[in-house]
Structure 1
Amino acid sequence: RSEMSKFKSPTGETQLVNARRTEALDAPHIEQLITEETVKLFGQVSVVEIIEKALLAVVLSNQEGEIIAHAAFFDYPNKPNTSRTNYKTDWESWLSASYDVKGCNSLNSFFLHLFVAKEGYEIPAAEEIIRTAFNAVPDLHHIFMVVNSGTYPNAALDQQFSQCELRSGGHHPSDCTVFGLPRHAHVPTLHIRPALVEDHDDLTPIFNQQSEILTRTYGEYFLAELIAGQDDSMRCLACEVKGKAVGFMSVTSEINLDLLNQCYELAPFHGLRKPHPDDQAVPPRTPTPADVVEDAAAVNARPTSSQRSGSAAGSEKGAAEGGEAATGPDAIETAEKLSDAVAASAKSSLLNEDDDRRIDEVDEENAENEAAEEAEEEPEEEEDEEGIVMTPIASPKSLSPEVPPNTAAARVARNFQPVYHGESNAVVIQLFAIAEAQDPRSVDFLPHVFRLFPDADFAIITVPTMVPEFSLLQSFVRVTPKPNCTLNQELYVFHRGGLACNLEVRAAKPADRPSVARLVNSLRLKSSLLKDFDLFLNFKRDPVKHGEQIQAFVAQCLGQLVGVGIMRKEADSDAMYMRSHYNIEDFIYYNHHRKDEHARLYHLAVNPIFNHFSKLFIKEMMRLGDKTCLSYPVYPSSAPEELRAKYSQPTALSYFVPVRARRQIQYPLEKLGGNAPSERVLMEQQAFALNHINRKLIYEPKVTVNARIVVVGASSTGISFLETLAFCPHLRFNNLILVSPHGLPGDLEPDEQRECMTASGLIYDSRDYACMSLRTWVSVVYGRMTKIDRKRKVITVNGTARVPYDYLILSTGLQYQPVAPLKKAPSQRQMLSAKRLPPHRPRNMFCINDPFDAAAALHWLDRRLDKQRLEGKLIVYGRSLDAYACVQALLEAGVRPQSIVRVLDPDSPNPFEHDDHVETQVEAALHASGVAAHRGYRLQQWNDEEPEPRQLELLTFVSEDGKREVHLDCCALFAYQRLGVDFDCFTAVNDACLVFDGRLVIDANFHTNDVAIRAAGPVTKFQRAYHADNWSHASFNSKIVGEQLAHALLRLFDPTLDQDTEPPPEPAKLIPQFGHTPKLSGARLPGGYHYLHVTSPTIADYLHPTVGDEGRYLKTCTKEGSYFRLHLNQYDKIDSITCLSREPFPYKNYIQLYGLHQRLLNNLASRFKEKLVPDFFEFFNETWALAFYHDRFHDFRDELRDLLSTRPAPDKLSIEEQIRKLMEDEIGLSTAQRAQVKEEYARSGAKRALETRFLNYISYNYYHLPMYAKPEMV
């Protein structure tokens, strides 16, 4: 966060100066400020490395952006010779033994490693930077500067620092001198006193500046009345500066603890009550009947549940065991995000204990039907009330392995609510306000609060979810709301132990073992933590893993062990893997960190009441362990248990930043041979989500957003929206909620057959979901939205459970709808409406809309194939790309082609309309395999006109002219005939009076007619005022649409962006631009074909692009059936790509060809014309093209474009400007003009600069691109 201040320039003029964090791009400007005096004072330094590793680096810049000063602060001295031991870790003992300094340690002290300033600005700049440092770090009390003996600070620093006095009798170093600066000289501790009625006039403007609600509600003199009404249970405090009250806090001991315990996870804080003999803090140990033996086939079926994440270290009485809130039999199931595991269980089940979700259910209605079918057809098998027992799948987190999930003991633990009977142990801050200048020191109120209420150990405060987090809350611990909480308040807790300033972090010792065991007693993975702890105590290394270095640290406060952390040195291969597979360089300059400075966090547990010290604990672990970067992986639920069990859930995960995974080049290894990347880059590892923190991020504040953002629908658009918010490094969203029947995609174990059952938008795959791990940041509510209460801002899920929101995002997408017979004659072309559909879908009708539906269908099919009970036909009704993929999946599952019948209705568009060759090849393969097809038929009748069939047995289809009928015995019907809006969603939207016109109506900024409700994706359409009925979000790449929606919402919360308090006005009704990202589709098609189609955003994918002025087609087709078609637009850029091949091909590479000019691709058009390119698959798989597939190539192109559009001198035109000038009155450039531009291009130095940039691009990414020769090799 930046601040604006005023001070005078050398000419006497008052200037506005901006203080902000230093960035690497500032380094060249900072180097220009270094003088001989700077070198004499601080030595020769690398500015980039200083910026990279400083805990706090601050620059001052004026209104023109010119940098006028810079300072960098570390938590250790800058002189290695200040101690005979490690100067980074042992300076505290050396400093206290040599100098008369009291109370300084690595947690409250900084060392100045560099200070530079523009001439004439040194004195005010030094004062401003020091003030900024103290305000940015409230725990900072001392700043030291170590210089060589005989060297003294310059005039600017001399006014701020004073030489530290030597301790009598101590060891006095002869090679250096220490100067110090106490905090109180610049930012003194606030003077807190009892509030007086006379403070009313000073305080009222402060309250009114923040909100006038109190004045309007309680009257103009509410504050004076509140102060006058103080008693033993309610006290008021005021902050005074220069005789004027600038802050106020009222505190009371009257709290409704029962309500708070009902709504928030207060078990780690013992319910905010004092201990009592009758407390019930752990689930009762009751005898349970024998566990139900699960069906082996069900347990081993495709969908599998992952293990529950451990909760944070709590009190010794199992404080973290509670937190499940059962709200009765009509509730829903939720999964709490992993980052909230500090105070709550990782999963909260609100289901009736007998209402677990089943693996083979297609949806809620179908579950009962499926069970009934089993009851009818398999009476000899053992059953329960609902049919065959299946593994629960709804939540990505299940119970601990020690407690089988289907036992009575597990259900008791899941629904247990701790009960506390002791007296209140807390006070609540009722009212708080403070002037902006004093806000960073708000924490100075807290010692006085506990002096007024000596019997209370906790201070709590509640704030509305829409109120931004202020400085006082930085010292508090946020309490996780329970899933049934509908209060619009966030609860924060502070323990009086947090006032202690004697937190000590040190390397672990054998004597710490019992205390550590007690601290982590409630962790599920405590055995893994203790095992690593013992390895450190005994060996300091892991003898099994090639002697991998282990470091363990403990945190102590008030003589009590309150935290333990264990990290391991990052193996060289893992460090390179992370660099090549994750965008770690968004946060660090990799080359400025030694290999041994990277570490991986395995365990971090901190007592919840000291959780706000977690970031300082991490800082000390890195300092004492001589590390600069710390990473923590989160493995998906499908990863092997032995891998996930290595890492316990850290209590400080919210302080880390999630790192995006990088797209990898698909290399032709057989062609590259020895020129392929190293094994460290190519090796296949279990996918994981990477979280990262480094030294410069320790004091980088995150803006906390407590607004409840509820996303309905796990479509690609919704997932992209959540991903964009979750991966904002400087924002922390505490209340991201997804409502979806089947939770987050990617929770199921990867299954190639299941994934091939549907066509893919090629937006995300299972590895992408694993590398995102949205379950870390997003809470999940399992169910369907059935109602929207816009007035109360609450949605209803499954008709019963309420989910409150501040902003509602509707991204449900479109789903294949159940089909019904024709109501009237075919010529009238009328179908049954959704309301006339049977209340229960026939149990052998499948609508495959997501991986869960596909898994259910394949599970149903596998059972019948195994038991040879496949009677009748498997009917695939519809003509979509998904229908073709379904046929191929059925064939690969072992279904005989003669058992599959395709019915192609006349209303469905042809997915291959853009390319007849693809359709011809696929249809020929289907015909050759023996799959029957009926074209131009609609469903007319089922089961002899039975109105509500439980199972489909006989289907009748009628031709479009009504003259022909087809009767088919039905084993199963796969419905791909119509995509539409989910009926529950439509009902909720329509009843809420949101404008619905075939689709949900929005404007260009995603707004519905309710400012708190936004929508995106194919479920939407633009207002008719746009006159763009043919265009909608369905015309664009859904990931880009989701990102744009997120950016629109970020303007409400991100302080670095212009704030939107209301929808921005639209000067013209124009549909938005969603960049140049293409639309993608891919599938496994009949005949074993792999299919890819890449195209520009279009009104309809199946429309032919116009040829002629719009461009030309280039096609290759081999004897083996491999077909590759490119469309070049009028600018000779690749506008669409179609690939069809029986052999797998590197489709991720080919997608990157979109938008490239054909000349960039080795003069593709001329080579093709000369018949030098017989096969595009081979051509684009050659090694010269690999640089185009690199994930940073598009950024590199943008960099070159900026280079050509930048003027070489103020009075000279750039290359781009020259071309534009020549083309002002011309359609194109003449031959002479082209020669003129080329000559100027070479003469201006742009050509050489471009070549240099390209070589730098290759060199910097050489670990991915070693197949290219560098100049020094020639």
Structure 2
Amino acid sequence: MRTITSSSGQEEAVNVRRTESADAQGINGLISPEAGAVFGRVNVIHLLEKANLAVTLANEREEILAHASFFDHPVGDLVDQTCWEAFLQKHFSAETCTPLNTLFLHFFVAETDFATASANEILRAVFNAVTELEYILLLSPYAGVLEEALEEVFDPLQRLTDLECSAFICHRQEHCPKLLIRPARVEDHDDLRIFVDQTKVLSVMEQPYFLAELIQEQNEENHWAVCESDGLPVGFISVTSDVDFKQLHDSFDLSELDGLYKLDQITNADPAAPPESREDPENPQTNPQEETQLTEAGKSSAVCIQFFVIDKNHETRSVDFLPYIFTDVDLCIITVPTLSPEFLLLQSCIRLPPRSTNASPPREIYVFQRSGLRSVEVRPAVAADRPAVSELVKTLSLRESLLQDLDRFYETRRDKDGEEMPGSRLVRIQLSGFSSLTDTPADGVPLQAFVSTVQSEVVGILIIRDEQDLQYLCARYNMESFIYFSHHRLEEHAHILHFVLAPSFQRCCRHLFKESLRLGHKSCLFHRLYPPHISPQNSCVHHLDILLDCAVPVCPRRQIVFPLEELGINAPSLQIRKEQAPFALSLISRKLTLEPKVTVNARIVLVGASDTGLSFLEVLCFCFITVSRGQTDKELQADRLSAADNRSSDSPDTRNASMFNSLTLVSTHGLLSDFDHEDIGFLSTSHAYSSRDLSRVPLHSCVSVVSGKMVAINRKSKHVLVSGGVTVPYDHLVLCTGLQYQAPRPAEVNQPDSNLQLPSNLFTLNDLHDCMAARRWLSANFVELEDNAIVYGNSIDVFTTVETLLSLGILGNRIHVVFTPPEPGVSCFSDPEVEKAVATALKKAEVQCGVFINLSNKAVDSEAFRSINDSFLVFDSRLVIDATFHTSDPSISAAGPLTKFSRSYYSDEWSNANFNSKEVGRDLAAMLLRLFDPTLEPAMETPPETERGKLPGGFHFLQVTKPSATQLTAPPVQKLQDSCLVTGRVETGNYFSLHLDSYEQVEALTCLSLKPLPLSNYLSLYGKQQQLLGQLSSRYRQGLIPDLHRFSDFEQELQQITSHTGDVSGQTVQGDVSPLLLQDRSPAAEVRAAVRSSAVRYLSFNRNLLPMFAGPGQL
């Protein structure tokens, strides 16, 4: 917090933060006639949506004192946003203003008493936040008189013509000047010690006069410099040219650095290939001649930063050191520990990926090249750029596709491969409560191409194509978490076809996208990331991580299963319902172009691709971290946005997206995203992740996958040994291996022999890979024979396996089921009706219980047990953890059925296995994220346990239950207040059971149907109050609901609930309940009006997904 003083002398503690959508009402209350005279009429929500940077000044009570919005082009229609630079130089003396160093003030309001102080505070914060910013212009077609606060901070622009408009300029030097850099002197010691003691980052500096001695011993190889503010040293840096380039080359991929060394075998390598393919990761080759060249070239061209400390109030000006460093070198290197939090200087540097070797160092390397100091220009591509673009992409495998689209842009400005939308060339699109006509030309879709140049040399290219699938994106992804669709025209959306940027200019990536949006009159760019097995080979992106660093990942939405036959013409459009190849979606919008990501370099290793583990990775891939900068507690901190009253239940969220640079998954068979339970069968599923679900999470781009089993954990060296000899180092190790079926063995054998050769016809099924192998073997070696199949176990997987065997064409009399002795009072089905139906189906199929696919003895994998036990972690039939998922080693966490709580909690009846696996994974990720962001709050809702599969008899089975304790002694006691609603019979294949608790909330449900179940719809029932389901309990008692599967009112209400709760958590009942349901129960007319208004807004906003509901004026 900082303190400002009003014109009357009143002091107020304030902070400057990113503007939230909930601030709109407060900002509207500050608008004065003077502001309207300068900026014109303003729609605040639209302004916040399109601004490159919008900031709010608020006090401790979160009362808004001031607001300002900044764009990359002038206000109004004074000049087209693509031509302002030439316009400015023609009419004003502003030759140094460029798109890189200039922003335009589009709106400013403030409380009268605090106006001047607020303006100064906001401008200081904005100059601090945008390091390249040098000028802020106020250029408006409205020639109103500036209010006093703006007159004090802005100076008139020198005019060259008599153009009638408002033209003012504000310079960085007046609010946040650059730091003066000079050589260090011994007498600086006392000043430097003040803030060095405050940082407490380097224990070596605790020695008396350590800094003074280092400064005094400067020589040709070691240099010290300090930065000054108002004549006082506020930071220092030490650089050395004594660098071990041999070690750097062995540990990191340096192949794309210009000027470090000259080796043909490396510089000619294909930069599109992953680092692992360029050389043998197990045995990197470095010959003596190469070592000599590395040393000789490196000594003359590169330096390494040894020490760097700067006062937190001046941290944003760390970049001022860079020009001083590059007086006579080409490359600056910074190495930091992997657990070190990112500091602002690193955001201007390029991170080099480590080599995939068994000796990966516990450090990260960042570099900054001299070429990065040059000014970057972005402009539309012209035909003369083609040779330079061809040279830029000549080593990329998909260069031909890029060059073909570039030629199409030169020739027709259109993509000739564009396809018409279904039906007609003119298609009405309804998005977020508005409709418009879009014309999809038969001759293709518009293309745009932009190049990034440095001193007239092309260093990057971006080709975009107008987005044609907005309805699909809006319906399938949580787009409204980031943008208001109603404030973006359809033609303002585009998706990225090709993107290539030279690594040396990676730091200019955001500027390239910001300028492309401005020059192309776009507001949003989308990027589709397809999984490897279905990746289209027509999009050239290099490097992908550079693009993803500028984008935010968009979460997929839970989908409604619509009863199309009943809805008829009222069903959603085909564009929404038609399935496309699944992909992970990323978004770049105008308001995100000045939003840096939080980088986390900690090496996080997950062992086990279980539901818990995948949920853990999903949270990390989509997570957002709040970080406060040094100059204030929350200066320009990106906070969670609240929903404004006049918008949808999906409110934008502009917290800083995080990027985990080192996520590794160790799994026996890797990441099986190209297989699906429904296609393969055998095992039941928790409905946590299907192959489509995994494909819509950016796992392949964010997570490195190591295939193999964990065979050892070295806690001292902090690495995991994987089968095959691969060593995976970690800072945080997470174990989520779960439980696996174990191959039967004689009772006298205590430990299985890992070298024991099992028969080829013995299958122990634990994952999709095992199921696929079994299915292939059965189809090739068993189905056409007359031998018997034996299924051994006593779980629901036994029955789903039998159904799979029957579906393969194996006769029931060839299948023999052997049940292991069950525990007293325990059944794999909690509903006796389901158990009876399955037994009857087995009997009809003539499946005999007499005499092997093994589905028994679920326990900890033997290799995982050895690794845990040999590393001396506490193991008591399961891996012992505490309430925060930590094992006895604070660097190692674990979750899922693999674990149990410490006996000190006296809760043996509870374990992670009693809860939903996805919830456990999310809680585990939240625990880890608190190490990087202590402000995160835990989730409030508890998802149910889910089990589904296809059982003998062709039954589709779904069971959703409340997490409950394991009964160690007696069966559960049925509460008298609980009730159960049952319709249908197992014999007719329409059995449906809903269990309500004492609060009349859905606590469990069981479905057994001969027809496929709308799973995502039914899962949304859990935890809902029966009144929310149309007074379900009372209607059931009145006999008005003979079949829950077919009750139309129930199903329509369910669709609304599914759409609402699938995307937003923690909403009030008002947003879900139909006004008619509560009209007679509401005590006051204003309550009824509020409920009615909320329901109408919700249905209007989601009109494209819920066209079956009549809106206002339609009846």
What TM-score results when the alignment is normalised by the length of structure 2?
Answer: 0.90
RMSD: 2.8
How far off is 1:922 after superposition?
Answer: 1.4
Instruction: Give distance in 2, aligned partners of 1:508 and 1:1096.
Output: 59
The match for 1:1269 is 1110
Aligned partners of 1:640, 1:1015: CA distance in 2, in Å? 33
Shift of 1:438: 1.5
- 2:534 pairs with 1:639: yes
Trace 1:87-486 onto structure 2 (pairs within 5 A).
87-148=80-141, 150-167=143-160, 172-211=161-200, 213-215=202-204, 219-269=207-257, 273-275=260-262, 281-282=267-268, 323-327=278-282, 423-424=297-298, 425-451=301-327, 454=328, 456-484=329-357, 485-486=359-360
Mapped to 2, the partners of 1:232 and 1:1076 lie a distance apart of: 63
Counterpart among 727, 743, 758 of residue 683 in structure 2: 758
Q: Which residue of 2 aligns with 1:1259?
A: 1100
**1: CA distance between counterparts of 2:844 and 2:1072?**
56
Q: Quick one: distance in 2 between partners of 1:918 and 1:745?
A: 31
Which residue of structure 2 lines up, in the alignment, with residue 577 of structure 1? Answer: 472
Q: Describe the shift of the 1:136–1:679 C-alpha distance in structure 2 as closer, same or farther (beyond 3 A).
A: same
CA change 1:913–1:677 in 2 (3 A) is closer
* Alpha-carbon distance change, 850 to 549 in structure 1, aligned in 2, over 3 angstroms: same
1:604-1003 aligned at under 5 Å gives the runs: 604-639=499-534, 641=536, 649=544, 651-729=546-624, 730-746=657-673, 748-750=674-676, 752-754=678-680, 756-798=681-723, 800-823=725-748, 832-835=749-752, 839-865=756-782, 868=784, 870=785, 872-907=787-822, 911-934=827-850, 973-1003=852-882
Q: Secondary structure at the match of 1:517?
A: helix
8 Å Cα contact 2:983/2:993 also seen in 1:
yes
1:1192 aligns with 2:1064: no
Aligned 8 A contact 2:497 2:540 in 1: no
Q: Distance in 1 between matches of 2:274 and 2:735?
A: 37
Q: For residues 864 and 321 of structure 1, what CA distance do their matches in structure 2 show? A: 38
1:493-504 correspondence to structure 2 within 5 Å: 493-501=367-375, 503-504=376-377
Distance (whole Å) between structure 2 residues aligned to residue 146 and residue 228 of structure 1: 51
Alpha carbons 1:877, 1:883 under 8 Å: kept: yes
- Cα distance between partner residues in 2 of 1:248 and 1:166: 42
Instruction: Give unpaired runs (5+ residues) of structure 2.
Output: 419-441, 625-656
Residues 1186-1265 of structure 1 aligned to structure 2 (within 5 Å)? 1186-1193=1054-1061, 1198-1201=1066-1069, 1241-1243=1082-1084, 1245-1265=1086-1106
Aligned to 1:548: 445
Could you tell me whether the CA contact under 8 Å between 2:1030 and 2:1049 is conserved in 1? no
8 A Cα contact 1:672 1:1267, kept in partner: yes
Cα deviation, residue 760, structure 1: 0.5
Give the drift of 1:1095. Answer: 0.8
Partners of 2:15 and 2:58 within 8 A in 1:
yes
**Separation in 1, partners of 2:994, 2:1069:** 25
Taking a change above 3 Å as real, the CA distance of residues 1116 and 871 of structure 1, as seen in their structure-2 partners, is closer
What CA distance in whole angstroms lies between the structure 1 residues aligned with 2:778 and 2:293?
52
Any conservation in 2 of the 1:873–1:900 contact (CA below 8 Å)? yes
The question of whether the paired residues in 2 share the 8 Å contact of 1:566 and 1:602 is answered with: yes
SS of 1:1242 mapped into structure 2: coil
The alignment of Structure 1 onto Structure 2 pairs a total of residues equal to 1046
The corresponding residue for 1:1158 is 1026
Change (3 A) 1:648 1:733: closer
How far has the Cα of 1:142 moved from its partner? 0.7
Contact 1:1259 1:1270 survives alignment (8 Å): yes
Structure 1: distance between partners of 2:1064 and 2:318: 46
CA shift digits 1:976-996 (9 cap, x unpaired):
111111111111112222111
Work out which of the residue numbers 1018, 1026, 1029 in structure 1 matches 2:905.
1026
Q: Distance in 1 between matches of 2:276 and 2:1052?
A: 58
Could you give the per-residue CA deviations for residues 1176-1220 of structure 1, whole angstroms, max 9, x where no partner exists? 211268653244443324778944358999xxxxxxxxxxxxxxx
CA offsets, 1:140-194, max 9 Å, x none? 0110001346433211111111111123xxxx25231311111112111210011
After TM superposition, give the deviation of residue 321 of structure 1 in Å: 9.3
1:556 is displaced (CA, Å) by 0.3
* Residue 454 (structure 2) pairs with residue 557 (structure 1): yes
Report the equivalent of 1:354: none
Whole-angstrom distance in 1 between the partners of 2:149 and 2:367: 42
Query: Matched residue of 1:857: which SS?
Result: helix
Contact map agreement 1:878 1:905 (CA 8 A) in 2: yes
Per the alignment, residue 651 of structure 2 pairs with: none
| Range with greater deviation from structure 2 (318-327 or 1131-1140) | 318-327
Q: Which moved more, 1:708-717 or 1:1095-1104?
A: 1095-1104
Alpha-carbon distance change, 556 to 646 in structure 1, aligned in 2, over 3 angstroms: closer
| SS class of match (1:1120) | coil
Taking the aligned partners of 2:574 and 2:291, their CA distance within structure 1 comes to 52
Distance in 1, matches of 2:1048 and 2:877, equals 43
What is the CA–CA distance in structure 1 between the aligned matches of 2:607 and 2:239, rounded to whole Å? Answer: 39
Shift of the 917–420 alpha-carbon distance from structure 1 to 2, 3 Å rule, reads: farther
- Structure 1 counterpart of 2:173, one-letter code: H
The answer on whether the counterparts of 2:38 and 2:143 sit within 8 Å (CA) in structure 1 is: no
1:1137 Cα deviation after fit? 0.9
2:960 counterpart residue number: 1094
The answer on whether the counterparts of 1:265 and 1:322 sit within 8 Å (CA) in structure 2 is no
Q: What does 1:1097-1108 align with in structure 2 at a 5 Å threshold? A: 1097-1100=963-966, 1106=974, 1108=976
Say if 1:612 and 1:1145 are closer, same or farther in 2 by CA, change over 3 A. Answer: same
Q: Give the CA deviation at 1:640.
A: 6.1
Q: 1:1140 to 1:1202 in 2, by over 3 A?
A: closer
Which letter does structure 1 place at the counterpart of 2:242? Answer: E
- Residue 477 (structure 1) shift: 0.6
- Aligned partner of 1:513 in structure 2 is 386
Q: Which residue of 2 aligns with 1:37?
A: 34
1:60 and 2:60 aligned:
no
Corresponding residue of 1:1050: 929
Q: Kindly tell me: are residues 491 and 1185 of structure 1, through their superposed partners in 2, closer, same or farther at Cα, counting changes over 3 Å?
A: same
**Offset at 1:279?**
5.2
Contact residue 708 and residue 724 of structure 2 kept, 8 A: no
Q: Which runs of 5+ in 1 are unaligned?
A: 284-309, 313-317, 329-349, 351-411, 824-831, 935-965, 967-972, 1059-1071, 1206-1236
Amino acid of the structure 2 residue aligned with 1:881: I
The one-letter code matched in structure 2 to 1:457 is D
TM-superposed CA distance for 1:999, in Å, is: 0.9
Question: Relative to structure 1, is the Cα distance of residues 462 and 1202 closer, same or farther in structure 2, using a 3 angstrom cutoff?
Answer: farther
Q: Does the CA-based 8 Å contact 2:398-2:539 persist in structure 1?
A: no
Q: Distance in 1 between matches of 2:705 and 2:276?
A: 20
Aligned counterpart, 2:636: none
Q: For the structure 1 residues 865 and 845, does the alpha-carbon distance in structure 2 shift closer, same or farther, using more than 3 Å as the test? A: closer
Equivalent position amino acid for 1:327 in 2:
E
- Structure-1 separation of matches of 2:819 and 2:1049: 37
Deviation at 1:838, TM superposition (A): 6.2
What residue is the counterpart of 1:401 in the other structure?
none
